[in-house]
Every structure is written in structure tokens, then in C-alpha cells.
Structure 1
């Protein structure tokens, strides 16, 4: 199934939230499917500057819920990822490759993120 090219305004909207920028950056860097736990840990590392061992369960749960209810559905609706609910895996699609030039420029411009963003 071929999708239309992603409009620049859509890319900006997808990158509006820092948690979503982290998810996109990690998926683009890793080039593989990741679990919600993997992405939660990346958000904890880059947004909260907290190691997983020092994070409260409350913070991790909040991150997971936000991913599950807000960020994953938004990325999936644009065809950037596919989400396997049974395995809780986020699978990047070819649409993500289309975002890469703009995505990397936006991430590099984010003063709160150190590039590269990886697990």
C-alpha cells in the first residue's frame, strides 16, 4: 500500500512533542521494531535525564500511558509506525524513512536532546 508523501506541516506536528521526537529519533536510529518499554526507557533517559533504576514506577507508568494513548496512535494514524498490540511492539514503516531529513534537522535543533538519540 503506497501512501502520499508526508507534508511538512504534518512533520512539524508530529515533532511538536518532545516525547514523540524522542520516539521518532530512536526508531530512525535503530531501524528496527522496539517495545513500549524500550521507548519508555529512551524517553526517561533523554527527557527526564534519569536512569531507569532511579525512576519511580509512577513516572514510568505515566510515560507508558502517554505513549500508548497519545503518541503511538498519532504516529500510527500517519503511517509512520505500525503497532502490534499483542506484543506491544512499535514497528517503523517506510514512511519513517521519508521523514528522516526533516526529522534529523528538527532533532539537531532541539537544545534538550543530545544527538544521536539511541537506546
Structure 2
């Protein structure tokens, strides 16, 4: 059940964007519209390390996926910012995604 079905208030927007991992996930969704969780985790790990996705270790990608599934995706789905149906469903923009999209940084092509 969503907390804010129609729009997000300013404090919620700030709170959701306070995590670099969530912000990068939203950047990915802004550019790609849909991303598998393993790919999202690898992209986040690459950005955190300032490296390419190919250079990210499996352990780092696994840690990022665990963080996504247990911390970030629940918060974003609670506010209808993303839609995700575990365990292997793609992560996609939700009804409130447009409230955050103007505030996320574009993807860095050097890392992607």
C-alpha cells in the first residue's frame, strides 16, 4: 500500500534522495526505464567505486543487491517511486517517479 499515492511532499523527496545508492538507481531508471536488480546492483557498486561495471567484484555486486533489496527498494516502493516484484522482476518507474526524476543526476557514461 502506498503512502503518497498522488504526489510526494518535499521532505519525502529529500529523504528518498539522501542516499547516493537510491539516487543512482533513479538515474538508471531515468535513462533505461527498466533495469534488472542484478544489473542495478552492479551499476550502483561501480558508481560507488568510480569504476566500470565489468571491474566490480561479485562480492561488491552481491553486497549492493542485498542493500537494494533490504533497504532501498522497500522505501522506494512504499512511496510508489519504483515498482519491483521480487525476486527477479525488473525495477521500473512507479507512479511517483516523476516527482524525483528532475533531481537525479544523469548517468556518467564513463562508468556505465
Indicate the TM-score class for this superposition, using the shorter chain for normalisation: 0.7 to 0.9
Change in 2 beyond 3 A, CA 1:86/1:44: closer
Query: How many residue pairs end up in the alignment?
Result: 108
**Residue 112 of structure 1: aligned partner:** none
User: C-alpha distance in 2, partners of 1:116/1:61?
Assistant: 21
The residue correspondences of 1:67-86 to structure 2 (distance < 5 A) are 67-86=68-87
Instruction: State the Cα deviation string for residues 66-86 of structure 1 (Å, max 9, x = none).
Output: 001100111000111111214
Residues 1:34 and 2:25 aligned together = no
Higher strand share: 1
Question: Structure 2 stretches of 5 or more lacking a match?
Answer: none
Over the residues paired in the alignment, what is the CA RMSD in angstroms? 2.2
The residue correspondences of 1:38-57 to structure 2 (distance < 5 A) are 38-57=39-58
User: C-alpha distance in 1, partners of 2:83/2:14?
Assistant: 20
- TM-score scaled by length of structure 1: 0.78
Q: Quick check: 1:25–1:117 contact (8 Å CA) kept in 2?
A: no
Picking from 4, 8, 11, the partner of 2:10 is: 8
Instruction: State the Cα deviation string for residues 18-50 of structure 1 (Å, max 9, x = none).
Output: 0111001111222x2211112112212322112
User: C-alpha distance in 1, partners of 2:25/2:55?
Assistant: 21
Question: Structure 1 stretches of 5 or more lacking a match?
Answer: 108-114
1:117 shift after superposition: 4.5
User: C-alpha distance in 1, partners of 2:107/2:60?
Assistant: 24
